[in-house]
Amino acid sequence: MRLIQFDFTQDKFFEKGTAFMIKAGYLLGDVVNTFGQSSFLISFDVMSKKLTMAQLINIVKKLENIDEELIEIIDEYQTMQKKIMQKKHPPTEVFVAFKRFEVGIEKILRERIIAVVDLINENGFSGIRELLEPGVFDSLYIPQKKQNQSQLSNVDIFCNSDELGDIKNSVWMMPHIFYSDSFFSKPAITNIDEITEGSPYLIEICEIPNILFLTVAELKAIKNQLKDSFSNFHSEVANWADACYNSSESASYFKENVFPLLPTLKAEIENNQLLKHTYNSIQKSIQLNKERQVCHVYLGEVGVENLMELYKDGNMFSDEDVSSITAHYNNHPNATFPVMLFSISRKLTYLDAAYRNELDNKNKEEIEKEIEPEIVVPKKNFSID
C-alpha cells in the first residue's frame, strides 16, 4: 500500500495536523511519499543553516504576521543593494556601510528563521527527517514547472502517470478540512452497507492516539512490530487503489476484500504495547486538559472532481494544468481517487452550512479550533527559490 501526502496549497506555510498525518501514514502504510512544502519542512532545520541572503528574505517576507517595520528595512536593504551593484567601483565608505547594514539585517532574518524552525518542530515535524528511508519513506521535491521530461510535475502525480513508478496507484492522505461542501456536493457514504459504485464513501478503519508524543526510535519500533500483521491489509488496499484508478468495480472490491480486514487492523493497533501506553498516558492528560487527543482514520473513495476542487482552491494548478488533467480523466471516466482521511479529536463531520451555523455563537478562536483541531505536541525535545 502506497500513501501519498501532497500539500494542496501554496498559500500557507503548513497546515495544522500535517505532521501528525505524515507520521500516522508512516505507521499505517508500507510506502509513504511526501511532496510540496512538507518536503521542505521535514528538512528545514538543516537547510535553514545554509540559506543565502536572498533565500532568507524570500522566506521571511512570506511569513504570517511579519511586522511592517521589518518589511521596510528589507526593502531599504534591497534598494541599497541594487544601487551598489549598479556601480562598478562604489566608494569604499559607502560599500563598508552597506556591508555593515547587511550583517545587521542578516542577523535579524536568521533569528526569524530560528523562530520558524522552532514553530515547525512545535507543530510535530521534529524527527520526521530521521524516519526517511529510500523506498519506504521518501520526501520529494516537485517543481511547479518541469525543467525536463525526466522530472515529475503536479499534473503527472494527479494523473497517476505511468512515469511515477513506485508512486503510481497511491492512496492520498487528506486532512478533515477536505470533507466540506466546498469540495463535496453532498456528504459521503459512511455506512459500509450503503456503498455503491461511483459514490464517494469514507469508512472508519481505526483510531490512533497522539503519536507526536513518540520518539523516532519508538515510531520505528511500532512500524516494525505492525509490519507483518499489516501485510494482508497493505496488499488488499494496493489492489483496491489500482481498481479505483483503473476499474469500475473498486467499491465492490473494498467491501469484499478490504473491509473484512479492518477488525484485525484495529485489534493490532489497540493491542500494540507502545501505542496502548501512549493512549493511556493521553487519557490522563485528557482529564486535565479536557481534550481528546485521538485521531479517527477513514479509508474511502472520492471523485476526481472532489480532489480537483481542493487543489484548484489551493492554487496548485494553472488553467493549463486543469485542461490537461480534465482531458486525461475524460479518457478515464471510471477513475476515482482512493483516500485516507484523518480526523483529529473527533468523529467525521461534514463541514457544510448547517455545521457552520452551529458555530455562529462561538468566537473566532473556538471556531478555528473546531474546524482544524489542535494536536498537542510535547515540549521534550516553501520553496526557497
- Tens digits of per-residue pLDDT, 283-307? 565 554 444 568 899 999 999 999 9
CB 40 within 8 A of CB 384: yes
Instruction: Verify that 224 and 302 share a domain, yes or no.
Output: yes
Q: Cα Rg for the chain, rounded, in angstroms?
A: 23
Instruction: Verify that 175 and 85 share a domain, yes or no.
Output: no
380 pLDDT band, cuts 50/70/90, is very low
Instruction: Verify that 116 and 130 share a domain, yes or no.
Output: no
Report how far residue 234's alpha carbon sits from residue 221's, in angstroms, rounded to the nearest whole number: 18
Instruction: Verify that 337 and 362 share a domain, yes or no.
Output: yes
15 pLDDT band, cuts 50/70/90, is low
Q: Closest by alpha carbon to 239, among 256, 227, 223, 225?
A: 256
> What phi and psi, each to the nearest 5 degrees, are found at residue 163?
-75, -10
Report how far residue 252's alpha carbon sits from residue 243's, in angstroms, rounded to the nearest whole number: 10
Is residue 339 in some structural domain?
A: yes
User: How do residues 125-136 score in pLDDT, each as one tens digit?
Assistant: 889 999 999 989
The residues pairing with 139 across neighbouring beta strands, listed in sequence order, are: 34
Instruction: Verify that 28 and 58 share a domain, yes or no.
Output: no
Is residue 265 in some structural domain?
A: yes
CA 193 → CA 96, 189, 247, distances in Å?
75, 9, 21
Overall domain count for the chain = 2
Instruction: Verify that 223 and 90 share a domain, yes or no.
Output: no
pLDDT score at 379: 43
Instruction: Verify that 359 and 243 share a domain, yes or no.
Output: yes
List, in sequence order, every beta strand (DSSP E) within the chain. 2-6, 31-35, 137-140, 171-175, 201-209, 294-302, 337-344
Report how far residue 385's alpha carbon sits from residue 378's, in angstroms, rounded to the nearest whole number: 32
- The H helix count followed by the E strand count for the chain is 17, 7
Whole-model pTM: value is 0.84
110 pLDDT band, cuts 50/70/90, is very high
Instruction: Verify that 109 and 156 share a domain, yes or no.
Output: no
What value does the mean pLDDT take over residues 41-59? 89
Domain final residue pick, 87, 120, 153 = 120
Report how far residue 25's alpha carbon sits from residue 342's, in angstroms, rounded to the nearest whole number: 10
Is residue 291 in some structural domain?
A: yes
Q: Any idea of the CA torsion for 66, 71, 74, 75, to the nearest 10 degrees?
A: 150
Structural domain containing residue 353: 2-32+126-371
C-alpha cell at 140: 520529494
The residues pairing with 32 across neighbouring beta strands, listed in sequence order, are: 3, 137
Instruction: Verify that 96 and 180 share a domain, yes or no.
Output: no
Is residue 115 in some structural domain?
A: yes
> What phi and psi, each to the nearest 5 degrees, are found at residue 183?
-125, -15
Instruction: Verify that 83 and 113 share a domain, yes or no.
Output: yes
Q: Closest by alpha carbon to 254, among 162, 179, 189?
A: 189
Is residue 233 in some structural domain?
A: yes
% helix, strand, coil for the chain, step of 5: 55, 15, 30
Instruction: Verify that 132 and 223 share a domain, yes or no.
Output: yes
What residues contact 362, with CB distance under 8 A and at least 6 apart? 370
- Name the residue with higher pLDDT: 373 or 348: 348
Is residue 381 in some structural domain?
A: no
Instruction: Verify that 135 and 280 share a domain, yes or no.
Output: yes
The residues pairing with 296 across neighbouring beta strands, listed in sequence order, are: 207, 343
Phi-psi region of 17 (alpha: psi -120 to 50; beta: other; left: phi over 0): left
278 pLDDT band, cuts 50/70/90, is confident
